[in-house]
A and B are shown apart, each in its own frame.
Chain A
């Protein structure tokens, strides 16, 4: 980086100060007491798509556990209800190969816009968790050709600017998530790009912020019912195998996904307050809510590109 970020500088100041007056750290005995684990139920219900639900155990603090995975719950009965009516029992499936795989519960019916769906999961020992969400409409947007531009914060690097026109339906509060990712033919995995944005409620870039994120969350408080231009500035050069994804969210989905994103960003920052993440699962943790995902390929204008 050409210039140091303010956050880093403040850390330096704090720790220089601490160092100068010989601060220290030590471990205290806090996590040793046994704490109750909890059932975690997660599912994002996408418009006109089948349902994937996943169940795991929460990792107890202080307990020994595998670094990468959570203990999966494979023997639950997971039922899907539409507007209170039973639809089907989700089938357990394993996705992946014999070495790396994940256990899901999968529906055969697709969920539809405007309907409310409930998932009820029951374990063999009778423990039961449930949650519900409704399905929003797909977002309406269009994008112009992406352009490569010199980075304002790093003259030695080029960025990509994408103009996104978002058409917001009037009369209701709408919520969106925007992501840019690179996809690779033959792979299901996607690599998310870091970007920042300028638009209603965010009119300028801040030089001293680490403001490039993998996802941006906005609501239409300032542009309800209007078509607005958002300028997305991606910190890397984009190519034809990049896509933009705009997801319409319900208020609950917005709270959960936004909270969770921020919580993960700040989890290692001792100067910021840890964030409680929203959960709507009764008698458990996790989230079940509706989303409407729409993707579009990015075309790149290479005129004048180096």
Chain B
């Protein structure tokens, strides 16, 4: 396949380059004579030879001239322009002399000249100049028409043809300004230089990216990896989800966990995409750490409302995480040792400029910390392990400028094991019994993705993905009891989880300067294993060994189709129109929903943008979850004929404006979200059940509401940067059979919330950051007293206790009490040293919960007996007191 039709020629003139090279880029006041010999070879080299002979700089785009070859030629006393035109005679290129400069560019497009349509498309990639890493979210601005690179670093922008200035900007990089002779479609890769080294990344000059009032999308926040790594660390670990929790509208679940609760939604309503592949349980150690190793991350995008049509399958949020492709030019890496975990990341070229790799690993040593304390809990424990690990592998190969292939694998796992060995001796005969119990529990995610990027033309980009994702929980218990007369054994295992296989194709089409179209189709096969168990035992007596296995497997097929158009109606108004359609088939039942997505922006006087968005979402998966904390035992199950898919509608509207020369973004956004068919275990059902075939009968469903308003101030640049946000919100549920069918506050219904993150560069080698979180009290269900119950129509026995009448705990309603507010200050300081060889050494000291606030994890009524009677009191459980940590990071 010929690449040439998609290659366009660029006439390049960096204004800065011109300024920087005044000696070389002198004006051509006359057409000098030259005498020189050109040898057979590359056209670009030949042009350079001519330029040297005339002592004139000739401006051209080398990659375009590289396609042409020249033969041996000799010029004697020939005008430079004549010699150049002679070399260009058999090409599609031409020489233009403008403002005294010699520029080589494309001949005018026939299509353009015939039709009279004077427009041209600039497309290509933007990459890091040093590593070749494709950059996501880079802004390309041509005469006020702007676009951004997609998740693969690709962009396409169509503007009126002619000489034009292009500005390419991204936080952390030097803004690139070039003058292009955009006479024809041009495809090119732009390289951006980092602004500075180390954490200077966070200090950026005035951003030239579109201001917040110019962006149509609302409810979207982009986090740079530098911001995540600069935020205070928890136990030495930078954590993307904990940083996301500092944003308005997003709450943490239980204290210390990485669970996200977005605008009144539940944890299962968040889509975590790792290179486009869903992850089902993105946390370790019961939610304390997220599975994302920040050293491998390239870009993090969060959507919490006004979802673009390309996303579907969850009600409340999409966290779209892109990992590094790997350095195409040099071997680099980093290594860190923290209080809880160590990690390494290595990236570099397998074939320079063509193939790159990223390899990363992380492991905790929590078991080494906990093991010495185990004796206090259980003295018979003879084997103990608790840890997690993550492994990321990614390969990237560039077949050509138009074709790239990515292969990425992630594997993460938590593991816990405790084995007890108990022996007893009794009696003078030495009778003894020995019992050994071995318990193992583990859970983890494994994903694999193959992606192929292909550019069909200057306006059409496509990505094809094949992906697999698995979340698996397993627990096993084995025991052996031996006494002088007998030996019995028992083995039990339970497995649950979800496994996906799927594929999708996404198109990015820019047909017109005012339109950016995205469309695609995908299919996923889900395999749910809500409960698969096996049991075997041998009593050692006369009975034969017994083996029993039970398995519940459910399947579901999901098809998603979408199309969206970002339409620039006028410089003051734009709209994003989209439609997402999905089908889900499971166990003889098929559901289908068409979900419109609309968002719009209009500029008001005072340079204030008014934005509005509406999105419908459908979610075909449910998470059977304990109602108080998220655990790895929570089970993913599909919608069935009895349990319907979750549906949501969200309307959001707000105002946005940037101030201080576009360095501070201010926004206020209100939202109302309605959620139908949210499920919950029926009151009284066992929460730790393995969902067998009867799980559908253990759940009940209902409606959820959430509404609120979020104020957000975000300073992205400067020595001091960060953000502050305040949220007023309310969310509740009305679920059949729960709380007497009455509406009740959701367990994370926090009315007021204030969060702030500040990152300050004290000096070149010292960086300080701090975050403060305040949340008003969460509701919880508390027993307010007790009274006598009844279980039989006639008295059996005497006295209340003997009569068998239960004591009824008085709970007037679900989540009936709010007690204490939550607030916490975290700080972090980095000491950065750059060695002579360029390596960077960072010592990080972080303190979590600096003033040791006793924030409640849960409460429970307790009591005792005194003075002949019983008294009650309320006990507060606090999880995380002040926690200092230290980590060492070496980047090379």
- Mask of A240-274 contacts with B, CB within 8 angstroms, 1/0: 00000000000000000111111111110011111
Q: Which residue of chain B has its CB nearest to the CB of A265?
A: B684
- Cβ-based interface call for B113 (8 A): no
Given A19-B370, A23-B880, A203-B694, residue A275 in contact with residue B684 (CB < 8 A): yes
Query: A252 CB to closest chain B CB, in angstroms?
Result: 12
Chain A residues positioned under 8 Å from B492 (CB to CB): 3, 207-208
Residues of chain A from 192 to 241 with CB closer than 8 A to chain B in the complex: 201-204, 206-211, 222
Nearest to A27 among chain B residues (CB) is: B873
Residue among A44, A64, A202 facing the most chain B CB atoms (10 A cut-off): A64
B891 touches A (CB below 8 Å):
no
Kindly specify which of B133-141, B167-175, B767-775, B853-861 makes contact with the partner chain.
B853-861
Do A189 and B802 touch across chains, with their CB atoms under 8 A apart?
yes
Contact B793 A42 (CB under 8 A): no
| A21 pairs with B633, CB closer than 8 A | no
- CB of B604 closer than 8 Å to a CB of A: no
Query: Do A70 and B783 touch (CB < 8 A)?
Result: no
Instruction: Determine if A22 and B881 form an interchain contact, defined as CB atoms under 8 angstroms apart.
Output: yes
Q: Choose among B478, B798, B868 the residue with the greatest number of A CB atoms under 10 Å from its CB.
A: B798
Give Cα A52 to B533, complex, Å.
Answer: 47
Which residue of A has the minimal Cβ distance to B437?
Answer: A4
Given the known interface contacts A14-B286, A22-B881, A201-B697, the answer about A276 and B796 at a Cβ–Cβ threshold of 8 Å is no
Q: In chain A, what residue has the closest Cβ to B862?
A: A27
CB distance from B473 to the nearest CB of A (A): 11
> Closest Cβ of chain A: how far from B17's Cβ, in Å?
55
Q: State the CA gap A239–B534 with chains docked (Å).
A: 31
Q: CA separation between A155 and B782, bound complex, in Å?
A: 40
Closest CB of chain A to B817's CB: distance in Å? 8
With a cutoff of 8 Å between Cβ atoms, the chain B residues found around residue A42 in the complex are 788-790, 805
A13 interfacial contact with B, CB 8 Å: yes
Task: Type the 1/0 row for B340-363, where 1 means its CB is closer than 8 Å to any CB of A.
Answer: 000000000000000000000000
Question: Knowing A7-B688, A259-B683, A273-B628 touch, does A2 contact B490 (C-beta < 8 A)?
Answer: yes
Say yes or no: A17 contacts B881, CB within 8 Å: no
A35 touches B785 (CB 8 A): yes
Bound together, the chains give a CA A40 to CA B808 distance in angstroms of: 11
Find out whether the CB atom of B789 lies under 8 angstroms from the CB atom of A260: yes
Q: Is B189 an interface residue (CB 8 A)?
A: no
Interface pick from B77-85, B193-201, B535-543:
B535-543
In angstroms, how far is the closest chain A Cβ from the Cβ of B848?
10
Q: Which of A19, A40, A203 contacts B377 (CB 8 A)?
A: A19
B residues near A64, Cβ cutoff 8 Å: 866-871
Question: Given A58, A59, A270, which contacts B860 in the complex, CB threshold below 8 Å?
Answer: A270
Known: A155-B538, A189-B802. A40 touches B878 (CB 8 A): no
Known: A20-B370, A95-B795. A67 touches B481 (CB 8 A): no
Chain A residues within 8 Å of B788, by CB: 40, 42, 54, 56, 70, 286
Question: A272, B787: Cβ atoms under 8 Å?
Answer: no
Hey, which chain B residues are within 8 Å of A291, CB to CB?
A: 793
Q: Is the Cβ of B875 less than 8 Å from the Cβ of A277?
A: no
Give the distance in Å from the alpha carbon of A20 to the alpha carbon of B441 in the complex: 18
- The answer to whether B792 touches A44 (Cβ under 8 A) is yes
B806 located at the interface, meaning its Cβ lies under 8 Å from any Cβ of chain A in the complex: yes
Give the nearest-CB partner of A70 in chain B. Answer: B788
**Also in contact, A273 and B877, with CB within 8 A (given A19-B370, A156-B481):** no
Q: If A30-B819, A260-B808, A270-B877 touch, does A65 touch B787 (CB 8 Å cutoff)? A: no
B813 adjacent to chain A (CB < 8 Å): yes
By a CB distance below 8 angstroms, the chain B residues around A142 are none
**Count of residues in B whose CB is under 8 Å from the partner chain:** 117
Contact at A17–B288, with CB atoms within 8 Å?
yes
A287 at the interface (CB under 8 A from B): yes
Chain B residue at minimal CB-CB distance from A275: B683
A6, A211, A286: most-surrounded residue (chain B CB, <10 A) = A6
The closest CB in chain B to the CB of A61 belongs to B785
- Distance (Å) between the CB of B764 and the closest chain A CB? 34
Contact of A102 among B478, B798, B859, B873 (CB under 8 A): B798
Would A274 and B783 count as touching, CB distance under 8 A?
A: yes
Q: Scan B436-448; emit 1 where CB is below 8 A from any A CB, else 0.
A: 0101010000000
Instruction: Give the shortest distance, in Å, between B495 (CB) and chain A (any CB).
Output: 11
| Chain A residues closer than 8 Å to B689, beta-carbon distance | 206, 209
Contact B370 A2 (CB under 8 A): no
Contact: B684 with A259, CB < 8 Å? yes
Q: Smallest Cβ distance from B729 to chain A, in angstroms?
A: 22
CA distance A63 to B693 in the complex (A): 46
**How many contacts between A and B, using CB within 8 angstroms?**
318
Residue from B790, B797, B868 in contact with A54 in the complex, judged by beta carbons closer than 8 Å: B790
Question: In the assembly, what is the distance between CA of A264 and CA of B437, in Å?
Answer: 30
A148 within 8 A of B: no
CA A8 – CA B497 in complex, angstroms? 21
Contact with A276, one of B813, B854, B857 (Cβ below 8 angstroms): B813
Of A12, A206, A278, the residue contacting B418 (CB under 8 A) is A12
Chain A neighbourhood of B437, CB < 8 A: 3-4
Indicate if the CB atoms of B688 and A6 lie closer than 8 Å: yes
> CB of B211 within 8 A of chain A?
no
- In the complex, whether B393 has a CB less than 8 A from a CB of chain A is no
Instruction: Tell which of A56, A62, A222 has the most Cβ of chain B within 10 Å.
Output: A62
In the complex, the answer to whether A58 meets B795 with C-beta atoms within 8 Å is: no
Contacts of B809 in A (CB 8 A): 263-264, 267, 274-275, 277
- Are A2 and B800 in touch, CB under 8 angstroms? no
Cα A123 to Cα B756 in complex, Å, equals 58
Interface residues of A in 1-43 (CB under 8 A from B): 2-4, 6-7, 9-10, 12-28, 30-31, 35, 38, 40, 42-43
Interface assignment of B807: CB less than 8 Å from any CB of chain A = yes
| Bitwise interface map of B from 258 to 298 toward A, beta carbon under 8 Å scored 1, else 0 | 00000000000000000000000000011010000000000
Do A9 and B787 touch across chains, with their CB atoms under 8 A apart? Answer: no
Which residues of chain B come closer than 8 Å to A287, judged between CB atoms? Answer: 789-790
**Most B Cβ at <10 Å: residue of A61, A95, A286:** A61
The A-contacting residues of B in range 837-871, CB under 8 angstroms, are 854, 857-862, 865-871
Closest-CB distance, B533 to chain A (whole angstroms): 5
Known contacts being A44-B790, A270-B877, is A207 close to B494, with CB within 8 Å?
A: yes
Within 8 A of A (CB), among B682-740: 683-690, 692-694, 697, 739-740
- Report B757 CB to chain A, min CB distance, Å: 23
A276–B779 CA distance with the chains assembled, in angstroms:
15
Residue in B closest to A153 when the chains form the complex, CB atoms: B535
Q: How far is the CA of A211 from the CA of B690 in the complex (A)?
A: 11
Considering the chains assembled together, what is the distance between the CA atoms of A66 and B793 in angstroms? Answer: 25
The minimal Cβ–Cβ distance linking B492 to chain A, given in whole angstroms, is 5
Q: A188-B797, A211-B686, A276-B813 are in contact. List 7 more A-B contacts (CB 8 A).
A: A4-B477, A19-B370, A23-B857, A25-B877, A202-B694, A263-B809, A277-B811
Can you list 6 A-B contacts (CB < 8 A)? A6-B688, A56-B788, A60-B785, A63-B872, A70-B788, A150-B543
User: Which B residues lie at the A interface, using CB under 8 A?
Assistant: 235, 256, 285-286, 288, 366, 369-370, 373-374, 377, 386, 416, 418, 437, 439, 441, 475, 477-479, 481, 488, 490, 492, 494, 531, 533, 535, 537-539, 543, 546, 548, 550, 626-629, 631, 633, 683-690, 692-694, 697, 739-740, 781-814, 819-820, 854, 857-862, 865-881, 883
The 3 closest A-B pairs by CB, nearest first: A262-B684, A96-B798, A64-B869
